[in-house]
Structure 1
Amino acid sequence: MICNKCGQENQDDALSCGSCGHKLQSSQSGPGQLGFDDGGYVEPIPMLHEAGPATRRKTRKHVEAWAVALLAGGAAYGLSAAELYWPLFVLAGAAMAYALLRGLNWKG
């Protein structure tokens, strides 16, 4: 068997390459190996399909939540670095109102 990493010739029953140590894989499957179960063929695992609309919607919500959190955090950091603390209360109230309305599916 030839190693697919370094090209070294190995014995047919070797599990790893004698030269580089890379795991060797046989090009043939037999009983007890992937694709066979007690001599009978087992169907392969089906390919995963593209994410559905519910998954895309959930991903969009997560991205939006992170964007809002990073924006609010950046604004809070900038305001506290400038020692302007009173706008933080307005910012916190606006963030809570946005989260509440977003949780009630205000935006869809």
Structure 2
Amino acid sequence: MIICNKCGSPNEDSARFCAKCRKKIQSSWSPPPETAAFRPLDSFRPSRLSGAQRREFARMVEAWVYALILLFSAVACQLKGQWWPMWVVLAVVGLAALVRLR
């Protein structure tokens, strides 16, 4: 039930106007109560990760670095209008990834 701010009469939750005074109904938002279910999230700290999780996190970061290098190289080649440097960058990143897999 929503209570009208003007006349105080109860209205249905789906109502947009008060049934008694026809004033537009405004919902009053209030923040949720502070309970354990609504506590803020802890900030991410890599030091809390276990050894396996830390290695997996490092691999993901490394993969993103490779992807960003390829993306920036592709943008630079597009702006220059010459695509041959992209083959060099692709070979270097591919070899770096191959060495890291072993």
Normalised to the residue count of structure 2, the TM-score between the two structures is 0.50
Which structure is higher in RCO with an 8 Å CA cutoff and minimum separation 6?
A: 2
Select the structure that is richer in helix.
2
